[in-house]
Amino acid sequence: MEECNESEQVSDHFICAVCLDILYKPIVLVCGHVTCFWCCHHSMDMRGQSHCPLCRHPYRHFPAICQILDIFLKKMYPISYDRRKTQTLEDERQGLLGFATDIDSVVTGEKLDQPSKSSSEDNLLINPSTEEKKSVDGSSAGNCKQVTVADMLCSACKQLLFRPVALNCGHVYCEACISVPEDKVIKCQVCECHHPSGFPKVSKELDYFLEEHFSSEYAHRKSSMQLHKEQTQNGNSLTSSSAADAEASKFPYPTEENFLQWWTAHGSKFHPGVGCDRCGMCPIIGERYRCKDCKEKSGYDLCGDCHKTDSKLPGRFNQKHTPEHQLELVKPAINRDVIYRLLSGQLAVVSAASRNRSNPPLNQALESASSSLDENNNVNDDDDDDDGSREGQSHNETPL
């Protein structure tokens, strides 16, 4: 545990493996691991496929902040959380994190400190005789708010989370409550956002906490879920999750081995360094739309799919984007250096060029692709100049 002061200790389950401090604005990756918002962002590959800092599981969408876990950490460890908040805000003001932004209400645009009335009422669904008394005190001095089962409810069944999984939008469900439709694309029942990353893995750290601190209620949920599993034989769930994973894997990022094939299909729609502020796809592959009216340094960009859907959710960095703002289609601008980086697996350009000289067919294809891109860049010079002053400081271009 991390001892933040004499009266408050933070469980190792809620220490970020990247910064080794209490999780601040936690996000849950598709593999189930949890990191701080900024720790995840700074570890991402803005020009290719990203990997979990812990298990190296690949992912391509920057998740939204997990609201239920954020509320929990505020209540459980108020002193440590406030310390991280003060430190992070100061780092943002000094430009150490790329730019300053308010991410307090990124998930829903609402104040996260105020549980909904329905959540309090839903607490009675679990075990009315004991739950009103059940709470967890996060510090020995009792200086934090009580954490109850009402703070840990599934977004679907409204009961205590059992084997919790988080979707890309940040909402949390029991693993068994996630349903995969016929089109294999999971959709959040709360915000109706699509989950684009395959079937999510259980967040083991949160699961450990639930089993430890709500032991009787968790055991009750476990027995009821086991009965449900036996009745349904659990066949559809396994098939559906495998299908969702297969659907998500159809959109790979380029490697040195598959670059030429990938480039033929996606190269003309590749936007390195630019992410979608709604679904979190980074980098954007496909159409890219940029807001002309958002004044934040982070900018505001949407991928083609998100541009076609209506949503009132704020951007990943809580940009003040509104439906009245105008969006413009932006053409890709990729230079020769980007191609070399993709081909060489992020090695030095010199090293990539040396290897390419020993492979004439690949080198010829590379030169051809570079020439076509350079021509495209020349056509879009004016657009690039206008974009550069903003994207150079945006979340999409933060140096790793």
The per-residue pLDDT for 110 is 42
Residue 89 pLDDT > 70:
yes
Domain coverage including residue 197: 2-248
**Mean local confidence (pLDDT), 283-305:** 91
The per-residue pLDDT for 225 is 84
Residue 181 pLDDT > 50:
yes
Residue 32 pLDDT > 80:
yes
**Mean local confidence (pLDDT), 278-282:** 92
* Residue that finishes a domain, picked among 225, 248, 271: 248
Instruction: Say whether both 57 and 203 belong to one domain.
Output: yes
**Residue keyed to tokens 């699961």:** 207
Asked whether residue 214 is assigned to any structural domain, the reply reads: yes
Instruction: Say whether both 30 and 169 belong to one domain.
Output: yes
Instruction: Say whether both 173 and 69 belong to one domain.
Output: yes
Instruction: Say whether both 206 and 60 belong to one domain.
Output: yes
- CA-CA distance, 295 to 192, in Å (whole number)? 27
- CA-CA distance, 241 to 163, in Å (whole number)? 15
Give whichever of 7-11, 18-22, 140-144, 240-244 has the largest mean pLDDT.
Answer: 18-22
Least confidently predicted of 141-150, 251-260, 327-336, 380-389: 380-389
Give the model's confidence band at 360: pLDDT under 50 very low, under 70 low, under 90 confident, else very high.
low
* Residue that finishes a domain, picked among 196, 225, 248: 248
Instruction: Say whether both 209 and 270 belong to one domain.
Output: no
> What letter represents residue 74's amino acid?
K
Instruction: Say whether both 75 and 199 belong to one domain.
Output: yes
Q: Tally the domains of the chain.
A: 2
Give the model's confidence band at 250: pLDDT under 50 very low, under 70 low, under 90 confident, else very high.
low
Least confidently predicted of 139-153, 199-213, 254-268, 346-360: 346-360
Asked whether residue 302 is assigned to any structural domain, the reply reads: yes
Residue 355 pLDDT > 60:
no
The per-residue pLDDT for 269 is 86
Interhelix angle for 360-379 vs 349-357, to 10°?
130
Asked whether residue 254 is assigned to any structural domain, the reply reads: no
What is the percentage of the chain residues whose pLDDT exceeds 70? 60
> What letter represents residue 325's amino acid?
H
Asked whether residue 253 is assigned to any structural domain, the reply reads: no
- CA-CA distance, 168 to 191, in Å (whole number)? 11
Instruction: Say whether both 130 and 242 belong to one domain.
Output: yes
Instruction: Give the number of other Cβ atoms within 10 Å of residue 321's Cβ.
Output: 21
Least confidently predicted of 72-86, 128-142, 224-238: 128-142
Q: Higher model confidence: residue 167 or residue 4?
A: 167
Asked whether residue 85 is assigned to any structural domain, the reply reads: yes
Asked whether residue 203 is assigned to any structural domain, the reply reads: yes
Instruction: Say whether both 220 and 350 belong to one domain.
Output: no
Left if phi > 0, otherwise alpha if psi is -120 to 50, otherwise beta: which for 319? beta
The per-residue pLDDT for 316 is 87
Q: Higher model confidence: residue 182 or residue 228?
A: 182
Residue 337 pLDDT > 80:
no
**Mean local confidence (pLDDT), 194-210:** 91
**Mean local confidence (pLDDT), 151-173:** 95
What is the percentage of the chain residues whose pLDDT exceeds 90? 41
**Mean local confidence (pLDDT), 265-286:** 87
* Residue that finishes a domain, picked among 248, 270, 294: 248
Instruction: Say whether both 29 and 81 belong to one domain.
Output: yes
For every residue of 281-322, which 3-state class applies, written as one string?
ECCEECCEEEECCCCCCCCCEEEHHHHCCCCCCCCCCCCCCC
Instruction: Say whether both 244 and 389 belong to one domain.
Output: no
Give the model's confidence band at 350: pLDDT under 50 very low, under 70 low, under 90 confident, else very high.
very low
Asked whether residue 88 is assigned to any structural domain, the reply reads: yes
Least confidently predicted of 111-125, 159-173, 235-249, 283-297: 111-125
| Chain mean pLDDT for the chain | 74
Instruction: Say whether both 219 and 283 belong to one domain.
Output: no
The per-residue pLDDT for 29 is 95
Instruction: Say whether both 227 and 331 belong to one domain.
Output: no
The per-residue pLDDT for 232 is 53
Asked whether residue 372 is assigned to any structural domain, the reply reads: yes
Least confidently predicted of 140-154, 266-280, 293-307, 373-387: 373-387
